[in-house]
Homo-oligomer: A and B are copies of this chain.
Amino acid sequence: MTAPSRRERLRAATIAEIKQAARRRLVDHGPAAISLRAIAREMGMTAPALYRYFPSLEALVTELVADLLDEMTDSMEAARDAEPEGDIRARLYAVTRAFREWAITHRPEFTLIFANPLPSLGHPNTRRDPRQPDCLAGTRYGDVFARLFVELWQRRPFPVPSREELPPGLLAQLDRYRELTGTPLPTGALYVFLSCWVRLYGMVALEVFGHLHFALDEIEPMFEAEVARLARRLHLDPPATIR
């Protein structure tokens, strides 16, 4: 646990600068512009030097994705913590809106994270290694939603499907997930959680990918309407303030 040496500090700074340059290229020139040569050029270096810091372009992108997920999670947590601790309703709204806000103000980054858009990520839809940093970061942002959801359930339980109402195949999987995570939520609430996540993701992804522009050009009112419907489903209105 000694203080980092001068070498280590310089190295960390260089790594940060590389990822910064990569992100700048992503934002300014699209995902295809993330290239070692271009990054090195921006930094006044040559491309092979970057191999001292990352074993490959793909590894660099993977770390960048993890950083972006962390940043998104941070902004969601900040929005949550700006609301009083007892006001779960306000906190859920805040986190939900922060998710969309980050997505639409960071479209290239969101696309990189959620739609495997980079050639260097190789053939999509191959099983990922859960020990990879981007997968770990992936669980973090999910937990922000999950923890609030659990809190809401414990303080103001809402109606959820009974075990009998869930199809057996789904019930078994959700039970397994329940054991795996040790969540206090009943299985039916897990289903509701996933269902809400599907709608939130669908809404934001469709907006970012531009697949709602055939009908709407300003998506926010539709988003707010959907969030309000989600809130009603969770019996979140009227305000669920406690204490």
A32 and B122 contact, CB distance less than 8 A = yes
Q: For the complex, is A93 an interface residue (Cβ under 8 Å from B)?
A: no
Q: Chain B residues with Cβ under 8 A from A31's Cβ?
A: 119, 124
**Which of B117, B173, B226 makes the CB contact (< 8 A) with A115?**
B117
Number of copies: 2
**Chain A contact residues: over half helix, strand or loop, or mixed?**
helix
Docked-complex contact A119 and B116, CB < 8 angstroms = no
A189-210 vs B, Cβ < 8 Å mask (1 yes, 0 no):
0110011011111110110111
- Mask for A98-135, Cβ within 8 A of B = 1, else 0? 00000000011001001111111011110110000000
How many residues of chain A get a CB closer than 8 Å to chain B's CBs? 62
Assess the B202–A169 pair: CB atoms within 8 A: no
Task: Check A114 against B170 for contact (C-beta < 8 Å).
Answer: no
Kindly state whether residue A216 has any CB partner on chain B within 8 Å. yes
- Assess the B195–A138 pair: CB atoms within 8 A: no
1/0 contact string of A214-225 vs chain B (CB within 8 Å): 111110111011
Q: List 17 A-B contacts (CB under 8 A).
A: A29-B123, A108-B123, A108-B124, A111-B124, A117-B118, A138-B214, A142-B214, A167-B224, A168-B221, A170-B221, A173-B217, A177-B216, A191-B225, A194-B215, A195-B226, A201-B202, A202-B202
Closest 6 interchain pairs by CB? A202-B202, A32-B119, A115-B115, A169-B221, A170-B221, A30-B123
Knowing that A30-B119, A198-B226, A202-B206 touch, tell me 11 more A-B residue pairs with CB under 8 angstroms.
Answer: A31-B124, A117-B117, A119-B119, A167-B224, A170-B224, A173-B218, A173-B221, A190-B215, A195-B229, A199-B202, A201-B202
